[in-house]
Structure 1
């Protein structure tokens, strides 16, 4: 069986970095591990066929993440299945014509959010596209349940498979704690305003791994710093932090799974995580056991949770161990790849 991945960001060069140990394969979502379970997996992107300058222009000025793979559509017909979270332009074309293959599997970061109340033409067309898909992989139990209720005819082809973590890359180095709180937020949906209010003035260094422009409009408290880190450096920041915080804002509805990648990284590192309560976070964090969930936009609750962990080293250690254990049992990258391979094979056998 051959599965094609369509990513929303450029992956060129990242495979070599993974092989060299300079990065992890979390953002390949099992692609590099499927072969051992009887599935050949690959990806395509316009950068493999066109000059970089032209690709940059097309991505920025002409084709957004939903349509950037459309010029490569007919190359997709060589595969048994396509797996993607955002290639909606290609999915629309696939839905319009009765292609025997590939089967189309949606990787769901927020299908329900995009569907909304199905009042607009765009939402109704999207619902039709979802119904024409061959399968859906959700990364939260709540999303799985809501999708199964919305699309009961697809119930057996909608499955919660947790986000996986590269346990060789994200593992405790035991470098020793620093008096530091750490957060990672390169994607949208971070509630930095509440985070700044909650942790400003605490006698601790607060480090944000992000692109500086994402916090440029907010005044950083004196104990805060923000910059980009390499994957290797992010591991060190996780390892030396006392607490990891994930302040989230999913009101936009575009991606209700925001923060999940950072969550499984931090938990794999054996760190206690304080996160905004969202349906996705609830699929991974057992409140008070392997992490702490706080109400959205509640600076007081967030501050209290962070301080409670900073003041109790034994609780931090116990919670961090429970977090690592959860990842080992449920989110190990190899195990997730095995689940994906099984699901892809199921979809390939299913009648249309």
Structure 2
């Protein structure tokens, strides 16, 4: 069976193909397998939706030549489904990991007709699956929950204790609550984000070091050397924080995470992760202070987390479940 994977970045393709069984062949669309960065849609000066659509059309892909197409993220999905209509092909498309939030919600009348052409829509949380069926006005059976996959890449350093707590990520982050929670503590905290948008206008306290847009190697080093991880999130239904959570779990790190529906599928409370109510700075402060002073508990949570990440969230199982969605 000939499959295509429409992906907005190159690194995902390698593990997809690594776990394809021999009876399937796969081709990567959009993000080129060549190392030249300027061949990626992300290097384009066009908005992402247009960049990926023109990248797809410019390469002359004939979607009818594939048995099934898997697309990643909303913009790739819409570009692929639009091209499918223009080429008047009936090749089934499976959409993986679309996120409907913010300004996207205003465009739902335009998005619904295209996503209605997808045979399946894979969501990265069960709460998201239920919510999207309502938002898109599509049958519930069209939506499938599969957990975000993760496995530590080969270039990740061995875990160490660098003596700081790490808060990593941008999407849906509630750093304002985090800053209030850690103010006055002697615990060093490092925050890594794309920009200061999730800070909510609050100035980080003196014990917080902020870093923006760290490179791959630096981010991996921070993940591996953090004493523990903090993932403060706003209470929303869409999935957020789970990729950072899985990276920390794979690195044998204890995590303190906001209790929201979007990450509930990835957590065993007090076994792999400590949960606190969202927007609760007192609970976050107490959990951080308690876990910071309890090395044995951090190690127990970290060992459980690493084992769970390997057993439940590996790439091989994810690809197997994806292939089961082929009509």
| TM beyond 0.5 | yes
Query: Cα RMSD between the aligned structures?
Result: 3.4
Equivalence map 1:184-263=2 (5 Å): 184-185=168-169, 187-211=170-194, 218-227=202-211, 228-249=213-234, 256-263=238-245
Q: Distance in 2 between matches of 1:321 and 1:280?
A: 23
Report the CA distance shift for 1:237/1:158 in structure 2 as closer, same or farther (over 3 A). same
1:75 is the counterpart of 2:75: no
Structure 1 contact 67–90 (Cα < 8 Å) conserved: no
Aligned with 2:127 (options 130, 138, 142): 142
Structure 1 residue 212 displacement after superposition: 5.2
Return 5+ residue gaps in structure 2 as ranges: none
Q: Distance in 1 between matches of 2:319 and 2:33?
A: 25
Higher relative contact order (CA 8 A, sep 6+): 1
Three-state SS of the structure 1 residue aligned to 2:51 is coil
Structure 2 contact 177–281 (Cα < 8 Å) conserved: yes
Q: Tell me the equivalent position of 1:308.
A: 290
Q: Distance in 2 between matches of 1:292 and 1:215?
A: 22
Q: Tell me the equivalent position of 2:280.
A: 298
Q: Residues 107-158 of structure 1: CA distance to partner in whole angstroms, max 9, x if unpaired?
A: 1343488885xxx6x3233223222211111111222344567767461x53
Aligned with 1:133 (options 107, 118, 142): 118
Structure 1 contact 267–323 (Cα < 8 Å) conserved: yes
> TM-score with structure 2 length normalisation?
0.82
Q: Distance in 2 between matches of 1:56 and 1:153?
A: 33
Report the CA distance shift for 1:47/1:269 in structure 2 as closer, same or farther (over 3 A). closer
Structure 1 residue 195 displacement after superposition: 1.3
Q: Tell me the equivalent position of 1:23.
A: none
Structure 1 residue 338 displacement after superposition: 2.3
Structure 2 contact 41–51 (Cα < 8 Å) conserved: no
Report the CA distance shift for 1:226/1:85 in structure 2 as closer, same or farther (over 3 A). same
Structure 2 contact 176–198 (Cα < 8 Å) conserved: no
Structure 2 contact 273–301 (Cα < 8 Å) conserved: yes
Report the CA distance shift for 1:3/1:47 in structure 2 as closer, same or farther (over 3 A). closer
> TM-score with structure 1 length normalisation?
0.76
Three-state SS of the structure 2 residue aligned to 1:219 is coil
Return 5+ residue gaps in structure 1 as ranges: 15-26
Structure 1 residue 213 displacement after superposition: 5.2
Q: Distance in 2 between matches of 1:210 and 1:325?
A: 27
Q: Tell me the equivalent position of 2:29.
A: 44
Q: Distance in 2 between matches of 1:134 and 1:54?
A: 27
Q: Tell me the equivalent position of 2:4.
A: 4
Structure 1 contact 166–332 (Cα < 8 Å) conserved: yes
Three-state SS of the structure 2 residue aligned to 1:35 is coil
Structure 1 residue 48 displacement after superposition: 8.2
1:319 is the counterpart of 2:301: yes
Three-state SS of the structure 1 residue aligned to 2:61 is helix
How many pairs were matched up? 316
Q: Tell me the equivalent position of 2:320.
A: 338
Structure 1 contact 34–40 (Cα < 8 Å) conserved: no
